[in-house]
Structure 1
Amino acid sequence: MRQFLIAFIFLLATPLGMAQQEVKLQNFNKVSLASVYDGDTFKVYLACRYSIFCKAIPVRVRGVDCPEMRGGTEETKAAAKAAKAFTKQFLRGGKILLRNCGRDKYFRLLCEVKVNGSDLGTALIKHGHAVPYDGGTKTL
């Protein structure tokens, strides 16, 4: 537990301007779903003993971009709702594992997300809810 807290504090204390390869990426195994915002963003509770660290933490799925819930056309909003529903069902399907977590430009955890050995990002793309995304200019 102590190692987890030290790793988590280090992750949060890393300057935003550091290159991703300079930061050691973290894995989190004891995760429970708090809420789903859209297809590629949700909040989790990380296992912890001290209430100051037991807040819902935002997570962004690494490598994908889903339609946004706000703005855009009605068609885009409908696609965003479908992606959100898919992600919610996927995350409720078993044990959530967060792999290779760093931080994105909005201070969220940026992670590969696995449930029962299946990758959420891959599933979102396969089912037409997302496109590949590397952090550059969005295509959706």
Structure 2
Amino acid sequence: MKLAITLCLLALPASAECYQWPLSGTPYDGDTFAVTVPGLPDELARVSVRVRGVDAPEIRGKCDQEIAAAKRAQEFTAGWISRGYEICSPEWGKYGGRVVADVMQNNRNLSQDLIDAELGREYDGGKREGWCD
């Protein structure tokens, strides 16, 4: 199954091409949500997207403070993408089964907006800082 998705995504241009893949359900947290990739069989079409360049608190956080912050980030992302978005430059992330992509809206970047709203931190793929005091 992942091989079929990989082959479809490998066929995507390496440029900064953007796609309007529809949201599938609600965002999991502030930096992860699922989309439906048109043209794939139903059992392969749902793909998880990790927003490039940001780390948001985890819904299954290590403390109440992180969980509450994760819910705020999730609500922010849900509202943000409800106004329309594009998935740009998708590529497979380091964790299987999801892509990492820029998520754009009218020349705005979701990762930067999460950071500006203090609902996320810059993230380059390395070790993440904790969210608990």
Query: Quick check: TM above 0.5?
Result: yes
| Superposed CA offset, 1:22-67 (max 9, x none) | x94663423111131000000001222x535762110000010001
Aligned AA for 2:35?
A: V
2:38 alignment counterpart: 47
Match of 2:91 among 102, 112, 116: 102
Cα distance between partner residues in 2 of 1:137 and 1:67:
14
Gaps in structure 2 of 5+ consecutive residues: none
Q: Percent identity?
A: 34
SS of 1:129's equivalent? coil
**Post-superposition offset of 1:113:** 0.3
Cα RMSD of the aligned pairs, angstroms, is 2.6
| Count of matched residue positions in the alignment of Structure 1 and Structure 2 | 124
Question: Does structure 1 conserve the Cα–Cα contact (< 8 Å) formed by 2:38 and 2:45?
Answer: no
1:134 alignment counterpart: 124
Bigger strand share: 1
SS of 2:24's equivalent? strand
Aligned AA for 2:7?
A: I
**What is the TM-score normalised by the length of structure 1?**
0.77
Gaps in structure 1 of 5+ consecutive residues: 1-5, 14-22
| Superposed CA offset, 1:67-122 (max 9, x none) | 1111311111000000000001101112x211121111112110000123321001
Question: Does residue 74 of structure 1 match 2:72?
Answer: no
Q: Which runs of 4+ in 1 moved over 3 A?
A: 10-13, 23-28
